[in-house]
Amino acid sequence: MLTYSPGETIVHRLDPRSKLCFQLGFAIAAFGSPTIPRLFGLFAVGFAVVWLAGFTVRRALRAYWFVLLVLALGPLIAAVTIGSPWLRLDPALASLRSVTRIVPIILVSAAYIHATPIRDTRAAVQRTVPGKAGQLLGVGVALTFRYVPVLREDLRQIQEAISVRGGDSRSVRDRAGRIATLSLARAIGRSDQLAVALQARCFAWNPTLPRLSFSRMDYLVVLCSVLLAVTVLLPLETLVLFP
Amino acid sequence: MITVRNLTHSFGEAVVLDDISLQIEDGEWVVLAGPNGSGKTTLVRQFNALLEPDEGTVLVNGRDAHEEPVAARTSVGMVFQSPRDQFVAATVGADVAFGPENLGLSHEEIDRRVEESLAAVNMGGRADERIDELSGGEQARVAIAGALAMEPDHLVLDEPFTGLDWPARRSLLDALDERDAAGTSIVVVTHDLRDLFERADRIVGIADGSISFDCPPERAREKLPDIDVRNPD
């Protein structure tokens, strides 16, 4: 499951603000024109970031399998036409190029989650966005990062509980209904437990946040982020590498 | 000191606590024993203002818990029945630091409290480990460390031995003995009294929302069957 794992990699040691900045620059670069050379470049950077974070592409893709499944439907839907010829290749290829650029963004975000403690993310958000908005955003991000894996684990347990008692033989509709109802009940229960736990431990909107500090490497990462973002403006296809 | 005066609490029409009065002295080790549904958890959740009573008062060190909940929650460390319900961070150190961070303490003070709390439960040097990769016993000890980091005067543990094997139970009892020796009062909510008779100063039996008995352990043995709690072998 995709959650923070302690480590000593270069990505673990970076300040969360520079990592967030890199994600932003990378996302801007990805949402430029989805040409083939640009896609190759994005994938190369995505793979490199995952490797530098001590993570694996396989685990990142497994963590986001549902998103990838939804993305894969895009080209299929784009290919279908209402009436003859029923299927057209060109729109499917255009859609494929569009959705493909999401994959390296997913890789970079997976590397971020793997290499960044949740409370550091909260600290980065609250120090970057001032006032109540930053506090709300910081707490929201921290709770989401903390509880999505817990809820996914609950979902897995529900699926297993249904399977071990022969529930696989029931109709998809029946199983989907049970999973949805039980997942909702568990999620409500979890949020109740969370509220009590936060109360018991004196939850504060503006606590002492962890120390954050920029190193030389962080400045380099911020510079790379800016360069990545401005590549949107560059016609990469005209460069020697991509004639 | 925790003082409960004429406490009544209901959920809907069901009266869970009925006119309960109780006092827990500083440094005391008290066991709240009773069958499932007797109101034990509801009672201890009043100690740090997680529930509001219908009637009566709870004083923690002489201050009304519901008027000053932060003071009560700082003085009464609560360890939930399932440690998983208590964790709000992914790693040991981050979770133990959560409470002190909320108190707005300095980084140095937070670091000191985290280090000392983890050392107190024999988890020193493991701050960077992931909580979900720990055993049940280790998770229970991290939950206690999270409560200890608030430097409470009183430690309340709700069914702390549920699901623990003998080594984990032993390790948890050792950690509690250390807190007892340090002068922290300990309140254990349980229906499993093994290993607690020789430690407890008093055993308070609760049944149907009322206190059935409040006496030293040796006298409690004959009374436990009356409230459907098994005597330890």
Query: Mean pLDDT of residues grouped by 10 in chain A (243 residues)?
Result: 88 96 94 82 94 94 89 90 86 88 94 93 92 92 85 88 85 91 91 88 90 93 93 63 45
Of the residues B48, B50, B82, B88, the best mutation for testing chain A's interface (the one with the most A CB atoms within 10 Å of its CB) is: B88
Q: Residues of A near B (CB-CB distance < 8 A)? A: 3-6, 117-119, 146, 193-194, 196-204, 206-211
B11-59 per-position pLDDT tens digit: 988 999 999 999 999 999 999 999 888 999 999 999 989 999 999 999 9
Are the CB atoms for A36 and A236 separated by under 8 Å? no
User: Strands B55-60, B2-11: parallel, antiparallel or unpaired by DSSP?
Assistant: antiparallel
Q: Residue A73: how many CB atoms within 10 A of its CB? A: 11
> Closest chain B residue to A190 measured between Cα atoms?
B85
**Cβ(A138)–Cβ(A125) below 8 Å:** yes
CA distance B3 to B58: 6
B73 touches chain A (CB under 8 A): yes
| C-alpha dist (Å) from residue A123 to A14, A214, B144 | 14, 13, 25
B 30-69 → A contacts, CB under 8 A: 48-50, 69
Contacts of B90 in chain A (CB under 8 A): 3-4, 117-118, 146
pLDDT in tens, chain B (233 residues): 999 999 999 998 899 999 999 999 999 999 999 988 899 999 999 998 999 999 999 999 999 999 999 899 989 998 988 887 788 888 999 999 999 999 999 999 999 999 999 988 888 899 999 998 898 888 888 998 999 899 999 999 998 888 778 888 888 888 889 889 988 999 999 888 888 888 999 999 999 999 999 999 989 888 888 888 887 76
CA distance, residue A127 to nearest chain B CA (Å): 15
Tokens of B131: 């909580």
From the list B73, B80, B89, which residue is nearest A202 (CB)? B73
